[in-house]
Amino acid sequence: MRGTAAANRRPALVALAGAMLAATALPAAALDRELSSEAGPLQVTTAVTGLANPWAFEFLPDGAMLVTEKAGRLRVAAPDGTLGAPISGLPEIDAGGQGGLLDVALDPGFAENATIWFTFSEPAEGGNSTALAKGVLSSDRTSLSDVTTVFSQLPRYAGNKHFGSRIVFDGEGHVFLGLGERSDQPIRNRAKDLDNHLGKVVRLNLDGSVPQDNPFVGRDGALPEIWSYGHRNIQGGARHPETGAIWFTEHGPKGGDELNLIEKGANYGWAEVSYGVNYDGTPVGTGEKTAPGVTDPVHQWTPVIGASGLEFYTGDLFADWKGDAFAGGLATTDLVRLTMEDGKVTGEERLLADLGLRIRDVKAGPDGAIYVATDERNGEILKIAPAD
């Protein structure tokens, strides 16, 4: 790994550059546009504007939103769209490339403890890695206190790609975290090995300790946090509201984005097999799509959509969409709707492509509308509702 003095100075310089870029972003013009769908005409409007590359958002109980900006800012958007100043108290963040402030989620006990969870690219000796932290949001929503890093991906690597990461709670006292394999050769090939956290889903208790029923606890040469392995770059995650199953989406290389049902101890094949090929056209690993002992994706996209964000719809505003899954598209600028039956994908619809915006995250709002974050320098959160 690279550990020169110049590399050690890089986090502060990159973070400063990212903050300066974010500060110069201008609000985009508010959007109010009617688009077609299989469920009828949709009205797409701007809910929040003035964001710089928003990465994730989460609804607060009163309808406000917590929003992360990749350059390292956490903000609250009021229900009327008014955007607050950056929240203080975040740890040091190595913002650059694909790294920065990433996912955010409310603790299952948020109503009582005001705790939020977030992921970020963490600078440290030897490089950087994805970290999971939690902290207490102040009553006026301007600061975090009692911030604790509960998990740091190992090994560190001085790179700026494939950090993952999505946070999913299982409703049973555990948190799942989907991680990237850091992209570069040869480090990406370690996703298949159990002595590291690269290209893994990890499972922790809410206090950060390791559940003793994790599949590799007590195995020599294996890290106990690991729940599943052989992933590439996880960018979407959700718990199914009826079955409780954990699902993640991950980026393939040139082809082979995946929707995966996450199973205990399962190997998802990277970088030995893939439905895609390397960016230069050469085969991935063996050149096969699957192999004995590999858990195949429930659904794959070739060409890729750049799957990011994942949500199972349970609202009443779109009755025909109940139970469907929604994934954002960074490569195709789509919001992808997947019809699901018995854990299988039975159909697909592409939405919002005419807008030409990278969709980084997707959530159903408390009003039943669907909201998406656009990964743009002049980023927005858009509201999708039936047209009157």
Whether 162 is a known active-site residue: answer yes
H helical segments located in the chain: 5-23, 110-113
Could you give the CA distance from residue 142 to residue 2 in angstroms, rounded to a whole number?
37
Phi, psi dihedral angles at 113 (to 5 degrees): -115, -5
Given 162, 174, 197, 299, which residue is catalytic? 162
Nearest to 266 by CA among 244, 289, 296, 239: 296
Q: What's the chain's length in residues? A: 388
* Residues 170 and 202: beta-carbon distance below 8 Å: no
Question: CA-CA distance, 62 to 64, in Å (whole number)?
Answer: 6
CA 16, distance to chain mean position in Å, is: 24
The CA distance from 182 to 283, in Å, is 19
Q: Which of helix, strand or coil describes residue 351?
A: strand
> What phi, psi does 354 have (nearest 5°)?
-65, -20
Residue 352 and residue 339: Cα distance in Å, rounded?
A: 17
**Could you check whether the bond before residue 155 is cis, i.e. omega within 30 degrees of 0?**
yes
Contact predicate 122/94, CB 8 Å: yes
State the catalytic residues: 162
